[in-house]
Structure 1
Amino acid sequence: MAVALTDAVPLTAADGITGLNNGRDMRKFISGLLLPDVKSANPLAVRNGVLPHNWDVSGCTSLRVQQQTTASMNVDVLAGHLVCERTGQGPYLGWSESTIVVPISTANATNPRIDVIFATVYDQASIPTDPGHGPVVDVLTGTPAASPVARTDLPDGAVKLAEVRVNATVTTITSSNITDKRMSTALTGGVRYMLPGDSVLDTGRIDGELRIRKAAAPWPQLMDYWDATQSLWRGTMGATFTQTYPGTPDGNNNVTGVITGANNTLISLNIPDPGFPYRVIASTLFKLISISSPTTINYYCNVNNGPFAGAIATAGPGGDNRCPVVPIGGTIFTGASTVRLKIDVLGGGSVTWGADVRNPLTVQVVPA
């Protein structure tokens, strides 16, 4: 026999007229579409935040707090959507269809303060103690002090939008006083676009969650996925870095140099932290112009003066004078690193090397 589930949306009675869904049913419907919060024991829990929806040349404008065109003691909050979970009720989806003006209280005569602008949805039908009913943007006025701090006592479910520093005696709020604190949320299975309030260290909510973030140059915008088994973000996109050989090229694009002794660094290439674990694979080609017998050389690429990214090889007098760096890359790195093309001159004497600058040291960074 059929066994009833909890509920469904939309649903009417068998007469086709009488509605059966209430507000909580609708919030449960919303929670089924949105990214869950870490409070997984609560089936209605979701990740609170702004839904990135609107854009301009500076990025996402959804519920962005900004200076008015003519600076005043008001700020503008642009149109956008938010998701806020209220305790015991589940998520509410609120929005503004146009820019709203939010007043900032008069500045203190002596000390600065930090106000917090937030958005939430009040629901006196389900939470009678709420101070109002419906979606709002409001301000927590800070406490003036020589070194002010932002208040943290936001209302239940509030989504922080910005901090506004109100310096003593000021009569206008400008862009330099506004710090964007928006955090993002997204649909389950969608790619979450990170906002200024998000941190690369924030944990993911579900296995396989995707996020897009801006990274410091020379990294482009990157996409990561959450590995719940290992509790870390993993990259989905690699990158290639190059560094040319030192020296002034001749008319044939060749450079040359003379080296002696061990532990010579011919090329050094810095890899900025990509924000995820990665492997490094290096390759290049140079040549030996002259090498005194019985001298030989070992050459290789290592990372942080440790593990190899290019296999160690030996070359000596006679035979093929080309020295290819064979790529390897089994070690996993995190953070920034430095790849070095190294040459050890063994047995005394000196070595003259040469390279075509059109064949640079090429380093591939591969997500691990």
Structure 2
Amino acid sequence: MKSVDSNTHKHHEEYNANAAPRVKRVLVVCYSQSGQLTRIAERILAPLRESGDVEVQVEILCPRQPYPFPWTVFSFFDAFPESAHMVAPALEPLTLRGDEVFDLVILPYQVWFLAPSLPVTAFLKDPRVQRVLKGTPVVTVIACRNMWMLAQEKMKQMLADCGARLIDNVVLTDPSPTLLTLVTTPYWLFTGRKRLLGLPAAGIDDRSVAQAERFGRALRDGLHRNAEREPGPMLHGLKACVVDPRLYLSERAGTRSFYLWGLLLRAAGKPQSLGRKPLLVLYAVFLVLLILSVIPLSLLVQATLRPLLTRQSVAVKLRFEMPSGSGQERMGMYDC
């Protein structure tokens, strides 16, 4: 068996234009509670699986202590302190050995309390995974209500710690207005039902899920021409990542609050311990008040000061839409 170093060297050797085409290997990491993220991943993977020269390997993450869906109120808030502090839970054994070589890794993830979901965090902190990801191009795929910018910053840091190369980021969000999703999303999380009365369904709409196939088509074509070895993104011009800069201040305030409350709750006891329960109740009340006050107030203030915040908004969009961007110039090539 070849060593990891020799495999890594082979992975990074210069492309020989005269060599016969070889099968490209793609690793896809999967953890989804409701099934929404799995549906999105499957649409992206469909063109790759249909291609005769792409081999797809799926790594399904299974926490040893499963997270429920629908959530109970206690289990939801009990996952908060570890999410905020990115304390990785134990996973069932992975199929990866640590010496595999992939041409591309696709990493879909949910956002939990403005951080990557705990199972995905655990995956990225596994030493075997870090060996596999070293020097490997990665495409992240986010599906969430609407706040993801600071979660992606944490994801970038974990990928950098692995030595991976983030080349693209795809973001799909709930298309409903922000204030409306503050009702429909919790209802979905705690009941498992996406529709409440006559309100729009919670989550990513079916049309956006179906259209995610354009990313798979672009990745397939990019792999055919070895674009994953180039420094630029493979999904530019496909409206992969659109930032709403109005949410940035709310994310910053929320992240700071989550960190401080997380310290307090972790000091009160371990996950599922009785010592946490009184504080979790207090925190739940605080969070509801925070959401009902800070987010609407932030949106109102920014609407009032919009002319003065134009430069800041542009800077936020430029920063967080990288590397894939929100351009649409290639949409006609890959429309589903």
Both structures adopt the same fold (TM-score exceeding 0.5):
no
TM-score (norm 1): 0.20
Structure having greater relative contact order (Cα 8 Å, sep ≥ 6) = 2
Q: Which structure shows the bigger proportion of residues in strand conformation?
A: 1
Q: Which has the higher helix share?
A: 2
